[in-house]
Chain A
Amino acid sequence: MRALIDTMQGVDAGHLLHGQQISVDRVRMRYATGTTALEDVTLSVARGEFVAIVGPSGCGKSTLLRLAAGLERPTAGSVALGTSSAAFIFQDPTLLPWRSVRKNVALLTQLAKLPKDERERRVDAAVEAVGLTAFAKQLPRALSGGMRMRVSLARALALEPEVMLLDEPFGALDELTRDEMQSQLLELHRRAEFTAMLVTHSVSEAVYLADRVVVMSARPGRISGVVEVGLPRDRDAAIRFDPRFVARVSEVSALLHGRG
């Protein structure tokens, strides 16, 4: 059944090795406009792993994520996703402005045709998890940018997905809100144990959240290096002052600036 769904989505599950959740194999991506966004990219994400992708603007990070989600097909190579239960979190909140917070959070569970009481339970839990219970009946226009982003996060959480694909979800937030959202995401990942692939511009965000940081180089996008973070999974904001954290950050920065 799962294989069937995956084939329907245009994602071939045949290439996954044991324990792998996402596999990108020698992928080239050339858009109709002639831009080659990715060249010979190979990347594998294990079940439960948190991988962050950093790279200069336009290097194909979003493209890579969209390929993993099945929103684009590679020009060459193959992409495999080991589950039909994946959630994509866009850079913008992407909410339906006529639906209340709660109904926005419920959207994907409705599309997935979950039974009603199961839906209610998950939606309540997700709204609670992002701290928006008091705003459940409000429309998105009544929320701040950070709160809208949390609605988007809750909508993905309500799906209880096995894979979360996040495209610069906190890019537009102020530093305080961003710190808080990052901690929340870490906490959720600890509890829900999904596989995560997160695109970000921020090196410290990448190191703070991920088990592994993939660094990409500019057009055509290639992987220029991978840094194993090697810090304990249950970390908190204080870890930013840990010498190991600082070392990893400078390692990623060096790769990013071509001094790897």
Chain B
Amino acid sequence: MASTTLPAVKTAPEATSAKRPRAAWARRAFVPSLSIVLGLAAWYFVSYALLTPDRRFLLPPAHEVLTRALLDPEHVRPMLEALAVTARITALGLTVATLIGVLAGILMSRSRVVEQVVFPYAVMLQVVPVLALVPLIGIWFGYGSFSRTVVCVIIALFPIITNTHFGMRSIDRSLHELFTLGRASGPRRLLSLELPAALPSILTGLRIASGQAVVGAIIGDMFFAQGEPGIGTLLAAYQATLRSHDLVAAIFLASLFGVAVFSLFALTSRLAVGRWHSSGAR
């Protein structure tokens, strides 16, 4: 290898290069912060300017939600306990959906027949609104946490199946031929080529599914209220009793939970494939 050495390029002075990242960070944080401040301002505007005191319960101001619900242990403890129940169901539902979905995706990519058999059902999972299935699920599986898990699985399954399938189908033909010429066994091909190559896709599917699963678990809580209450169960109860401070607080916690789950999967993606694949890089 002939290599030519170039004279070192002059870099910017230390001072500016050290300051720049912080400045960039501040600039990036500025607009989102402003957006949150404006949102809070709008909230207070509705609470105090649009709503008369006797109707203020429709949207209690932010600080009241904080002091009367979120910071009051008596109020917030049942919410956190319910959130833990919902989280457990979400995790269980996602795990089951991942196992079924990845397996289905792999089998579909292995056989044209399986693909044709499974695909209509996968599409049905996507197009049938889960709410329409709720009565049937109730009749079949009862009105407790098992049915909540079922809702969660149903709603999370489609993105996992389709993304796994897509990931497996998009593998370069020459890569497959490389393994064929190396006389790789089926399991070897799966572990060394197909799964790693499809992983970015599978993780994208999981990321989408995780958001869906949270929605599914909360809907499940609302309709299948027997047994331990989930956060959705509480939401329905607060609504029925017009406890709007608690209602807003529970909505806030549920959203926070959704964001946490989504971020967890985004982070997993980045850690798992960000090194070599652009989909995990941000």
Contact = CB atoms under 8 A, between A and B. Distances in A.
Do A and B interact with each other, yes or no?
yes
Interface of A: 9, 69-71, 86-88, 90, 92, 94, 96-98, 107-108, 110-112, 131, 139-141, 180
Contacts of B192: 96, 107, 110
A112 B179 CA distance: 10
A71 B197 CA distance: 22
**Chain B interface main SS type:** helix
B196 A71 contact: no
A141 B276 CA distance: 7
Contacts of A87: 181
Interface stretch (B5-13, B64-72, B74-82, B182-190): B182-190
Contact of A71 (B2, B175, B180, B188): B180
Given A97-B276, A97-B277, A98-B275, A111 B196 contact: no
B177 interface: yes
Given A94-B174, A139-B276, A111 B179 contact: yes
A131 B182 CA distance: 24
B180 A111 contact: no
B240 interface: no
Contact of B175 (A88, A96, A112): A96
27 contacts: A70-B181, A71-B180, A71-B181, A86-B181, A88-B177, A90-B174, A90-B178, A92-B174, A94-B172, A94-B174, A96-B196, A96-B197, A98-B196, A98-B273, A98-B275, A98-B276, A98-B277, A107-B178, A107-B192, A108-B178, A111-B182, A111-B183, A112-B182, A112-B183, A139-B276, A140-B276, A141-B276
A139 B196 CA distance: 14
Highest count of chain B CB atoms <10 Å: which of A92, A96, A110, A141: A96
Nearest to A167: B174
A180 B1 CA distance: 8
B193 interface: yes
B240 to A, nearest CB: 52
Nearest to A86: B181
B184 A111 contact: yes
A90 B177 CA distance: 10
A90 B173 CA distance: 11
A85 B149 CA distance: 53
